[in-house]
Amino acid sequence: MHNDGTDTCPHHMDGELPAGGDHLGGSFGDAPTLESWYPQRLRVELLHRNGIDADPLGADFDYAAAFATIDLDELKREITTLLTTSVDWWPADYGNYGPQMVRMAWHAAGTYRIADGRGGAGTAMQRFAPIGSWWDNGNTDKSRRLLQPIKRKYGNALSWADLMVLTGNCSLELMGLPTYGFGGGRLDAWEPDDGTWWGPEVWDPHQAHQGDDMVSRDERWTGRNGDADYDLQSPLAASHQALIYVNPEGPYANGDPMGSARDIRITFTRMAMNDEETVALIAGGHAFGKSHGQVPASDIGPSPELAPIESMGLGWHNPVGTGNGQYTSTNGIEGSWTPNPTQWDNTYLENLFRYDFEQTKSPAGALQWTPTDPDAPKTPDAHVPGQMNPLMMMTSDIALKVDPAYREVCERFLADFDLFTLAFSKAWYKLTHRDMGPKHRYLGPEVTIADDLLWQDPLPENEGAPLDASDVAALQQATLATGQSVSDLVFTAFSAASTYRDSDKRGGANGGRLALAPQKDWAVNRRTVPVIAALRQVQADFARTSGKQVSLADLIVLGGCAAVEQAARAAGTETSVPFTPGRVDTTQELTDIEMFEWLRPVADGFRNFLSPRFAEFAPGVAPESVFLDKANLLTLTAPEWTVLTAGLRSLGANWDGSDTGVLTDRVGVLSTDWFVHLTDTDLDWTPDDESETTFTGRTKATGEARFTATRHDLLFGSNAQLRSIVDAYVGPDGQERFVSDFVRVWDKVMMLDRFDVKGHRRYGPMAA
């Protein structure tokens, strides 16, 4: 060692760094990563995102109990005070933060899409990339930062997700709108969503602050706006990458109102809104605030995710003037829709229909519309005292005039302001609560303000006497005595429960909707029809002999549980499958057929189902990717996904009753045969045709066909992460572990929608 402290050991002589060399090339997580080298690899690890290890509050934190400690009236008063207390670093338009907070809450909720239930305000994903750095969310970072004192005061008793929506409600109430209610209970995510597919467009993030490179629609549409084949890729809802809804300047920023109306209808329909709700939301939202377009997008700094570290999470720095107030720029359009932008009234629709508008440009160069009548009302400047500005309309506003259906709704709202007020209140409530699931999940004293609504998938109250242990035992025997096979009983129970999706907490076995339209008519469910008929007879017999009622929903699940126990017993393993009664049967009238049709699968790897037209309407999408998607919606980990699939195959739960992928000669026995044969080195697998969707496994020595399988099956032998899990069950110690693990994940799936059960878990419904 030299006197200056440098090390003279030989292995340090080649450079200044401890391991040698003179420069550090990268560190943990730096690109290139696994995704850089193998972009088509199935990202199984996504199943483990946002788990308990990412949560600083831990598994024992009870948000419902913490939220109950809040005095909601006092909290709302504090929010309302904040809304009218302007600060110098981000001064409020018109001295009222209400309009910008409405926009924040709207954009948090507006990412929801009905096709897969993803998006929405439920986890406050607006705090993270990519959503938080979308061009359409410009300056929402300032809104959340303004709320930091409220969040600091209430701590973990108030999630960001609930605070953002509640602030939107308080803003509307402050400005005169009677809201329809508020339900708390949204649980914050703790890491970005790196799995949701937001569209195929690829943009250069280093150019994203300029706007145009980020707001792209080039690949998500088939045809051109107005063509007969004009179609938006599923499950997308937004018309453009990095936008919540549609381009306010019109499709392709071309100022075409009728084209804008087409995009609006497609987008809002994909977000579960009908024409009346769509008009109510647009007209109601544009009754408040203004749009900001004083500075061209090219002059605005990078988004929060790309901003320098000293920005502390704030992006879109505007170097012009003060950078805020009268110099603020968001989407580039400048102006307000009404003369009183902080008051709930009907002047938006009155102005829209009373005046003709001509196309103009904002100071930032964005296309917008101005009244042709010089005597049309003016709107006060948001920051310059005494200055009056022309009214502004966007192309997406003019669309409501030119589309006949939208115009008819507007005219009804113009004639009846009370009708408009109620329609907007209810549409806002739906917008901000659509992804929360059933009302059992709602918290707080304002939940009772709102009635049960069809979009909440309401269930009747359970009014019968609860089933006791002897009832359950008798019903188990009765279901097995129907003559329905183990395979059919398991298939039916799983078909009922597997409609659940954790994205918006819809679906599941509760309600017995498997026996109602549209689910009873789905091709994938045809095996369930005779089982349900047999279970209805059990239901009637039980009522006659016991004087008690059992729901069909409970019987469907109970039949599956009894069948699993019998299958384990056939494999030589005694087990008890948990069963929690209390499900109810809903009615056809309380089932929104159109909204439940969105839950119909086009591929379901668990039941080895693939639509015959899958390759036609999902070109370039691998069935195994949809399988991973389904596992995620069921909140499964990779081991749970693997075990559940193996068990369903062993029990013969294919949708069509075939033996494809059933890698056992003992169908209906809960054995480890599937794992063993999947990893059998004496088998060669070859595709059956050019589609490479089905395969045949042949014995190497003789070429004899031994099994058939699909991509859903071979996935677990080809993917390195999944195969490592399979290896845990192939040895002599695998059987007991397999039965135990299968029973656990079976119960998890059966209970996914049981929000009525006390102690229902936080992460996905079944995490601790």
Give yes or no for a contact between 223 and 216, defined as CB atoms under 8 angstroms apart.
no
Amino acid at 489: L
Give yes or no for a contact between 560 and 490, defined as CB atoms under 8 angstroms apart.
yes
Mapping DSSP to helix (H, G, I), strand (E, B) and coil, where does residue 531 land?
A: helix
> For tokens 């009522």, what's the residue?
543
> For tokens 């499950």, what's the residue?
235
d(CA 561, CA 547): 24
| Six-digit token string for 353 | 């229909």
Mapping DSSP to helix (H, G, I), strand (E, B) and coil, where does residue 762 land?
A: coil
The Cα-based distances of 125 to 122, 313, 615, 651 in angstroms read 8, 14, 32, 39
> For tokens 């003369």, what's the residue?
339
For the chain, the distance separating the N- and C-terminal CA atoms, rounded to the nearest angstrom, is 54
Burial, 576: exposed, middle or buried (Cβ in 10 Å; 0-12, 13-18, 19+)?
A: exposed
Question: Which residue among the candidates 2, 12, 23, 107 is catalytic per the annotation?
Answer: 107
**Which H/E stretch holds residue 427?**
helix 417-433
> For tokens 């000669």, what's the residue?
665
Sign of the Cα pseudo-torsion (253, 259, 261, 267, in order): negative
Q: What are phi and psi of 380, to 5 degrees?
A: -65, 145
| Six-digit token string for 732 | 């002599």
In our burial notation (b when 16+ CB lie closer than 10 A, e otherwise), range 179-200 reads bbbbbbbbbbbbebbeebebbe
SS3 content of the chain, % helix, strand, coil (to 5): 45, 5, 50
d(CA 255, CA 334): 15
Sign of the Cα pseudo-torsion (738, 741, 745, 748, in order): positive
The Cα-based distances of 99 to 1, 95, 147, 167, 351 in angstroms read 67, 10, 14, 11, 19
Amino acid at 346: N
Catalytic residue flag (residue 107): yes
As annotated, the active-site residues are: 107
